[in-house]
């Protein structure tokens, strides 16, 4: 299946693809539609570390779709892996890990959840939480119904500075130079 075919293949619950005729809408309307449209993707798998490579790959693919930089994509892959590791320690054996991706025009929200026997919010004063915050931008956690524990990561895509190429800035890719 080619990328063009994949983009036009209907999937239940997915929004309809954009019109194929570029002249059917003006450029301003098309841009506005892309900025307000939000896709939602959910991946559900056994709550076992052996499946995390699938989740890292899905994270990278979705972030690339939103034109995140290579550094941002790698940061998100590591952040998702770290969030999962924190939650898998609490997961009831034989249950599932669920990862929900909400895709905006320049932001990705990732919610990783498990069902725990003794649900507790991950501690925010740990090295793991500090790593998550540095990699994902905004990190939160919550307890849900039915003993569900979730970690929510929100990452905004860097806005390129006009006139600067990726290699023109000495701070390109440096964590301290990122805006969020």
The parent domain of residue 72 ranges over 38-158
Q: Is residue 168 part of a domain?
A: no
Residue 15 belongs to a domain:
no
Angle between helices 127-136 and 70-88 in degrees, nearest 10: 150
The CATH number of the domain where 123 resides is what?
A: 3.30.565.10
CB contact at 8 A, 21 and 8: no
What is the count of structural domains for the chain?
1
- 26: in domain: no
What does the pLDDT profile of the chain (180 residues) look like in tens digits? 433 333 333 334 444 444 344 444 444 444 444 455 589 999 999 999 999 999 999 999 999 999 999 999 999 999 999 999 999 999 999 999 999 999 998 899 999 999 999 999 999 999 989 999 999 989 999 999 889 999 999 999 887 645 545 444 444 444 444 444
On whether the pTM is more than 0.75, the answer is no
The answer as to whether 23 is a domain residue is no
């Amino acid at each position: 299946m080619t990328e063009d075919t994949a983009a036009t293949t209907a999937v239940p619950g997915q929004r309809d693809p954009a019109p194929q005729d570029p002249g059917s809408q003006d450029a301003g309307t098309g841009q506005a539609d892309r900025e307000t449209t939000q896709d939602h993707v959910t991946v559900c798998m056994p709550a076992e570390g052996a499946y995390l490579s699938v989740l890292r790959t899905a994270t990278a693919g979705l972030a690339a779709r939103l034109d995140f930089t290579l550094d941002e994509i790698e940061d998100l892959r590591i952040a998702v892996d770290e969030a999962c590791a924190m939650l898998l320690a609490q997961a009831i054996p034989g249950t599932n890990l669920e990862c929900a991706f909400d895709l905006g025009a320049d932001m990705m929200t990732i919610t990783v959840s498990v069902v725990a026997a003794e649900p507790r919010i991950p501690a925010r004063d740990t090295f793991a939480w500090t790593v998550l915050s540095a990699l994902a931008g905004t990190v939160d956690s919550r307890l849900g119904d039915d003993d569900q524990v979730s970690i929510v990561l929100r990452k905004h895509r860097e806005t390129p500075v006009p006139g600067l190429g990726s290699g023109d800035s000495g701070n390109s890719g440096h964590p301290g130079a990122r805006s969020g």
